[in-house]
Structure 1
Amino acid sequence: MRKTYSLLLCALLMSLSSQAQYFFDVRVDTSWTPTKVVLPPSPLKFQIIFVGQDDKVQTTATYGFEAGEALAKQNHDFIGFTPDNDSDDLGWVTVNHEMVVANDSIGDGGGMTVFKVRRDPITDEIIVVDQTLSDGRTGKFFNIDFVNTVGETGMNCGGITSSADGRIWTAEEWWRSSNSSISSLRNLDPFTIMTDIVGDFNGKTIEKYQNFNYMVEVDPKEAVAIRKQYNWGRQPFEGGTIMPDNQTVYLGADATPGIFSKFVAKTPGDFTDGKLFAYKHDAEGEPWVEIYNTSLEDMLNFTQKALAKGATMFNRLEWVTNHNGKVYMTETGRDGIGSRFENGAKAGGVLDYHWLEPVRLRHPKMIDKPDDQVIDFVMRGGFNDYYGRVLEFDPATGQVTTYLEGGPFFEASPEFSAYPEKHLSNPDGLNILNVDGRAFMLICEDLNGTSKGRVPAGITNRTCELYLLDMTVENPTVEDLTRISVVPLGAEVTGAQATPDGKTLFVNSQHPSSSNPYPYNNSLTYAITGWDGAISAIDDLDDLSFEPSKNFRIWPNPVARELKFNKVIDAAIYNASGQRLKVFRNQQSIDVSDLTPGMYFLSTSEGETQKLVVK
């Protein structure tokens, strides 16, 4: 018995001899001018779940205004998912709003929306369910209350979904340096911290701007914030991941220099008490230096404390995830690093050797230069990091290496007709999709610009794409990616959070162009369902030849109704899961209009096989 795996493929007649087996077409529109969400054809199903400034959220009493409802905020970014293990519902979906606005009902700054979902047992459709919370709010969508719990929040970008227990943290990326930089908020009075975190935090009064830029834990079930993690340091956070031990947290900061940090809880599941570290690749022994985290003063100045201890510097660390004990994070890149690393080095920071590969790949003159000269070249701002990369950290070795380099590089953007089928620019959102025992990395683009081949020549739209990568591929390159969605004009693709059963992927289209047709002119959360059919284990296919037969032809392909053959045949049609759907004998044409649009296999009694696309 042979066991093969099916996965989306962007070429209709590609051989099935690669590491993952591919069963249907994902020729996603890459015209670079989409005005709506684009994704592969059936068997995947598309749904719009939540629309900013359209759906209404239930609110708490805020700023003296009564509880009620208000239009949801926009700029959807992170998506978190908390399973419901006590009912037939799937669980709670949390969505960040990466913005800063004044709002009487929802609260000033950014924020989050939460809603609960279940799956229709027949259609697999995602259904948003009605809830009644303990504070009396009733409805489908709920604003998470920050104002009355931990103080306002701003530019809620990435975050954390704990793989251990589904707990949720939102990242406040909005780096503020003075009260004048938060003038959009109505209240700039000093803020008094009320927290159970171990240290000297509780009861301390700080400037209002200093109460931003933390990871903030929220309770999705009751739609309230729980605590700001003052003991993880004040940083321009974007991503983080909690390891399966429910004790170790890895964190990324979107800055240049950005610090890769680690928190280790004293007790699993209790993140109010533990030790904080900054990554230092050249430290003796373990590559970490401790940053004492029981002092509010130290935590308000985490980056300076880390650099002073020689922390390793990165170029915009964003989302962080983990798989099989290893940690993956996006280093999104920046067109001009300038003097940022030099200034960080003056404060004590260092650069590690994962820079050697991208610099030598782009600059032939650096190929034979000593490693230290290459690192100095980056330090002095000589390397424009146009595309970024995905990094891998192995706790067993303590090393950070490049897992997937962005690109390919172009000094001048190619014309549309010469543009590569796959190009990865500025990876941002990062997550793992698990289906049928296989893991796939989800990579969201957030283009920093349109030059240097990030889009074809003459295109000014920062079209962002969502890619899938089979984690069994060794030493992956951009060619191993599979495009699975493109968002509308002006939008960033982000979120990319799968349900635990592997059937549905939630994705955000953030800040699209207002010229797009409704609802694609709003930030929105959409669901792609059907991954259990698109990526699934297939058994007992030994009797099916996967090589397209040269002497047996079918047309038209794709087909809507009548499918014709170049000879009379006896044959059967199989779906992507290997199920036999149709059997016919002594025919030279058949009607396939009763088949759901998607990819199928047609196999004759003589062992000849062709792939078939029904539209």
Structure 2
Amino acid sequence: MTSQPQPHQSFWHRLLDAKITRRSVLGTAAASAAAITLPVAFSDAQAAANNGAPIKADPTTLKPQTVAPFRPIDPTRADTLTLPAGYRFQVLAPWGETFTADGREMGFNHDFVGYFPVDMLEGGQSATDALLTINHEYVNPLFVGGNTKERTPAQIKKEMESVGVSVVRVSKEGQSWKVMPDARNRRIDAMTKIELTGPVRGTAPVKGATVVSGTVGNCSGGQTPWGTLLTCEENVDGYAKAWEGSGYEAMHQGWVTEIDPFDPDWMPKKRTAMGRFRHENAAVTLAQDGRVVVYMGDDMQDACIYKFISRGKYNPSNRAANRDLLAEGDLYVANFGNGSWVLLDYAQNKKLQEAKSSDGKPLFASQAEVLADARSSALAIGGTPVDRPEDIEIHPRTGEVYAALTNNSKHGNYFGHIIKFRENKDDFTALTFLWEVFAYGGPQSGFASPDNLVFDPYGNLWMVTDNSDLGTNPIKAYHGNNAMFFLPTEGPNAGEAYRFAVGPTDAEMTGPVFSPDGKTLFVSVQHPGEDSESLDKLTSNFAAAAGSKTPRPTLVAIEGFPGWTA
């Protein structure tokens, strides 16, 4: 980390902004008839890697791919993880595996994955030893407790223990990754004590609370330059009915929660200054003046895209101070009609002071109320409602901001698209920007419903899809199971999608993140067998434990990439 933050940061800095097992399972693409074995042409950089020449991980000099560095595979309905020839996967840290000294198990429905090199705080970037943070978005009561109707107190407790975040140390030994014993291995779940910070702390919207219980609905997230996780709370309202009698408070959820994977004694913090909505992600970067900027999407049809700018500035030599940077700052919403960022500040924005409900009552009376209902606040001041903004990521070479707009059946956008925008003068704190559509979903592109995004150091975009209707919607028959695609961002094929991986039945792949050497891609396989009628009528057996047919959400480690050197 340099003492002078740059708008387009180093590869490793960008990666930070991105995503005791009893049994290891290896899979190969050879098991699938969909895997094609013929080679394809590579760009100069990829060809050098295949010939054994190291590639320096410097995004200012690396050449982007103009074609896929693999033979794209066909869509499939196979109940496995299908990959191109030469690639393989390993099941790692599946649901239910014990991984802590006190006997805690991995949570359910893995989502965002954060990669924190175990030597990061000493300036290292180990590609073979890391603390991973894994979000667990929600539970399927069929698998967690076996009761899909009335939940017992014991089942509610089990569900509350199965969501949240896992911090787990992994290490590569030979060709395999393993979960390692470590005092930092732990679960943060729906009952963990978490501190509220910022303008909403102790106010009426949260019933005066300063410390609350739990983090739930953990979807995507982000990583900070100082080595903490930002886990995003998305669909949180439905738990109040499901967990009736548990003391669950919906208004205590729906925030961005900061967790320090290196320090179990540091109480997690809910950053209320960043607003309450269906948080999908948190794309973190540093502005030219050292302030922290975070881009966020509200995963809902006709919802908005936001930008948070910290008041304080990043200090690479003061980690303790950096851990407080997200407690104070300004929240903006994007207006795509004129390419501007509009401030959500009750004292400064008269539209917020004058906003009325349908019966003529004021919508807001304070900044705390504005932030606690950021969606209504954003729409009241001209934020543009868009088509389900899911993941947002920042190009490591150009600084352009990419956003996946998954779909919107209200307006006939069933396939979704990806947009990109560039801040004025390449300044992440700018209040104006220009934007365009980067890629459209549909039969012509091969994908539908783009979700999580991740950049490799060449500046190529990798994207996973989020379709829940692939088995029932005839207009998506071309798609096969949910998949992962590679999209060049420059050259004649920019925006073209090349299918790299296809997930198992009913599943989606989520939270992709590369190891620092580019040789391993970690990605979650979420909710395989989601549409199973019962434990006797399973639609998937993916990652089932020995002697069982029940599918398990899991992390997978994909190998076969030529890698590069930093």
User: How does the TM-score come out when normalised to structure 2?
Assistant: 0.67
Aligned equivalents of 1:313, 1:24: Cα separation in 2: 36
Q: Are the structure 2 counterparts of residues 13 and 81 from structure 1 closer, same or farther at C-alpha, using a change threshold of 3 Å? A: closer
Compare relative contact order (CA 8 Å, sep 6+) and give the higher one, 1 or 2: 2
Residue 289 of structure 1 aligns to which amino acid in structure 2? L
Unaligned runs of 5+ in 1: 1-7, 60-67, 134-140, 190-207, 338-382, 410-421, 538-615
Task: Tell me: CA distance 1:300–1:160, structure 2 relative to 1, closer, same or farther (3 Å).
Answer: same
Deviation string 1:411-452 (CA, Å, 9 cap, x unpaired) is xxxxxxxxxxx6111001111122xxx122110011142335
Instruction: Give, as a single letter, the amino acid of the residue that structure 1 aligns with 2:562.
Output: D
Contact 2:93 / 2:106 at 8 angstroms: preserved in 1? no
Match of 1:455 among 469, 473, 477: 477
**Closer/same/farther in 2, CA of residues 25 and 308 from structure 1, 3 Å limit:** closer
Residue of 251, 254, 257 corresponding to 2:302: 257
2:500 aligned with 1:484: yes
How far apart in 1 are the matches of 2:346 and 2:177?
45
Alignment of 1:184 onto 2:256: no
Of residues 95-104 and 249-258 in structure 1, the stretch that sits farther from structure 2 once superposed is 95-104
Name the SS of the counterpart of 1:38 in structure 2: coil
- Alignment of 1:83 with 2:117, yes or no, is yes
1:116 to 164, 169, 180: 169
- Contact 2:231 2:256 (8 Å CA) reproduced: yes
Does the 8 Å contact 1:82/1:168 carry over to 2?
no
Residue type at the aligned position of 2:214: E
Q: What letter corresponds to residue 290 of structure 1 in structure 2?
A: L
Contact 1:108 1:185 in 2 (8 A): no
Higher Rg of the two aligned structures: 1
Task: Tell me which residue corresponds to 1:156.
Answer: 218
SS of residue paired to 2:273: helix
Match of 2:514 among 491, 498, 501: 498
What residue in structure 1 maps to residue 384 of structure 2? Answer: 312
CA distance in 1, matches of 2:507, 2:221: 20
Cα shift at 1:390: 1.0
Question: Paired residue for 1:93?
Answer: 132
1:271–1:23 CA distance, 2 compared to 1 (3 A): closer
2:403 matches 1:329: yes
CA distance, structure 1, for counterparts of residue 492 and residue 375 of structure 2 = 35
Q: Distance in 2 between matches of 1:320 and 1:251?
A: 7
Instruction: Please name the residue that 1:427 is paired with.
Output: 450
Higher share in strand = 1
- In the TM superposition, residue 111 of structure 1 has moved relative to its aligned partner by 0.6
Q: 1:234 aligns with which of 276, 287, 290?
A: 276
User: How much does 1:90 deviate?
Assistant: 3.1
Q: Which of 472, 480, 483 lines up with 1:465 in the alignment? A: 483
Q: Distance in 2 between matches of 1:443 and 1:234?
A: 26
1:103 to 1:440, Cα distance in 2 relative to 1, 3 A: farther
Alpha-carbon distance in 2 for matches of 1:496, 1:423: 20
Q: How does 1:80-479 map to 2 (within 5 A)?
A: 80-84=114-118, 85=120, 86=122, 90-100=129-139, 104=157, 107=160, 110-120=163-173, 123-133=174-184, 141-145=185-189, 147-150=191-194, 151-162=213-224, 164-176=225-237, 181-184=240-243, 186-188=245-247, 208-223=249-264, 226-245=268-287, 247-268=292-313, 269=322, 270-282=325-337, 286-292=340-346, 295-323=367-395, 324-334=398-408, 336-337=409-410, 383-396=411-424, 398-408=433-443, 423-434=446-457, 438-450=458-470, 451-456=473-478, 463-473=481-491, 476-477=494-495
Report sequence identity in percent: 23
Alpha-carbon spacing, 1:488–1:21, altered in 2? closer, same or farther (3 Å): same
Partner of 1:65: none
Q: CA 1:426 to 1:257, structure 2 compared with 1: closer, same or farther past 3 Å?
A: same
- DSSP 3-state at the match of 1:157: strand
Partner of 1:517: 541
Aligned-partner Cα distance in 1 for 2:256–2:381: 23
Distance 1:475 1:391, change over 3 A: farther
Distance 1:159 1:225, change over 3 A: farther
Report deviation, 1:490: 1.0
Measured in 1, the distance between the counterparts of 2:374 and 2:69 equals: 49
Conserved 8 A contact 2:215-2:253: yes
Aligned to 2:59: none
- Partner Cα distance (2:506, 2:215) in 1: 25
**Secondary structure at 2:246 match in 1:** coil
In structure 2, the CA distance between the partners of 1:188 and 1:389, relative to structure 1 (3 Å rule), is same
Counterpart of 1:210 in 2: which secondary structure? helix
